[in-house]
Amino acid sequence: MSNDNTLPEIQTCPAVGYQSATICVPVTITPFADTGTTSTKCCGEPIVTSGRNTCGGTKNGTCSFTISQDICVAVPVGFGASASVGDTYVTCNGAAAENICEECTHVTPADSTPVNSGV
């Protein structure tokens, strides 16, 4: 007599379901512009003037110009989803004393419509 009190392991049949979905997430694009390394080219020879002259132009001034560029930004975003299942339903197709699972093939219950076979 065995004292084996362990329960038999529950067997499962794995299945995969697929859901087509459109996923939406707001994405904010914040443009930026970084300057590269500037280069300076001397145009002509320097002018050296004796004495203290007032320089023309604006004191501590700047020169400005504008560059426009159309851009296209690729934003890698990982989408995912969690899944939960609802209530379980069963349609009993029959029972037998012999091993009817030995030659198991897809069984379509009599009161259901077969899944679209791609036809």
- How far is 11 from 9, CA to CA, in rounded Å? 6
The confidence score (pLDDT) of residue 94 equals 76
Cβ-Cβ contacts under 8 Å for 54 (sequence gap 6 or more): none
pLDDT at 3 (0 to 100): 57
pLDDT for 114 equals: 45
pLDDT of residue 106: 57
- Tell me if 46 sits within 8 A of 40, measured CB to CB: no
